Chain A
Amino acid sequence: MQELEVAGQGSVRVSRKDNDVVVIEKDLTTEEMLLSMGPQHPSTHGVLKLECMTDGEVVTSAEPYLGYLHRCFEKHCEMVDYPGIVPYTDRMDYLAGMNNEWAYCIAVEKLLDIEIPRRVEFIRVIVSELNRIASHLVAIGTYAIDLGAFTPFLFCFRDREHILSLLEWASGSRMLYNYIWIGGLSFDVPADFPKRLKEFVDYFRPKAVELYRLLTENEIFVKRTKGIGIMPADVAINYGWSGPMLRGSGVQWDLRRNDPYSVYPELDFKVPVPDGKFSVVGDCLSRHLVRALEMEESLNIIEQCISKMPGSEGFDARAAVPKRVRPKAGEVYGRAENPRGELGFYIQSDGKSTKPLRCKARSSCFVNLSAMKDLSKGQLIPDLVAIIGSIDIVLGEVDR
Chain B
Amino acid sequence: MSEMQEGRTLPQSVQESAAAYGIIREAFGSAVSDFDANETMPFFEVLETERWQEIALFMRDHPKLRFNYMACLSGVDYPAEEKLGIVCNLESLGEFGHRIAVKVKCARDGGSIPTAAYVWHTANWHEREAYDMFGMQFAGHPDLRRILCPEDWEGYPLRKDYAVQESYHGIKVPY
Contact = CB atoms under 8 A, between A and B. Distances in A.
B147 interface: yes
Scoring A66, A70, A240 by chain B CB atoms within 10 A of each residue's CB, the highest score goes to A240
Contact of B74 (A111, A358, A367, A370): A358
Given A70-B149, A346-B72, A239 B122 contact: yes
Given A240-B71, A370-B121, A346 B40 contact: no
- Interface bracket on B: 20 to 34
A333 B149 contact: no
A258 interface: yes
A93 interface: no
A238 B120 contact: yes
A78 B89 CA distance: 21
B94 A330 contact: no
Given A240-B69, A360-B74, A370-B124, A399 B148 contact: yes
A360 B72 contact: yes
Given A67-B149, A333-B101, A240 B122 contact: yes
Contacts of B126: 367
A74 B97 CA distance: 29
A244 B159 CA distance: 35
Contacts of A238: 68-69, 120-122
A371 B87 contact: no
Interface residues of A, number: 37
A202 B70 CA distance: 40
Contact of A333 (B89, B97, B146): B89
Interface in A316-347: 330-333, 335, 342, 344, 346
Interface in B2-56: 38, 40-41, 43
B125 A366 contact: yes
Contacts, number: 91
Contacts of A400: 148
A364 to B, nearest CB: 10
A335 B148 CA distance: 23
B40 A330 contact: yes
B152 to A, nearest CB: 12
Contact of B93 (A253, A367, A370): A253
B124 A331 contact: no
A78 B101 CA distance: 22
Interface string B131-164: 0010000000000001111100000011000000
A209 interface: no
B121 A371 contact: yes
A66 B125 CA distance: 11
B105 to A, nearest CB: 14
A344 B121 contact: no
10 contacts: A66-B147, A67-B146, A74-B158, A251-B94, A252-B94, A332-B41, A333-B40, A335-B71, A362-B71, A366-B125
Interface of A: 66-67, 70, 72, 74-75, 78, 110-111, 234-235, 237-240, 251-253, 258, 330-333, 335, 342, 344, 346, 348, 358, 360, 362, 366-367, 370-371, 399-400
Given A358-B74, A367-B122, 12 more contacts: A66-B148, A67-B149, A238-B120, A240-B120, A253-B93, A331-B41, A333-B72, A348-B76, A362-B71, A370-B121, A370-B122, A399-B148
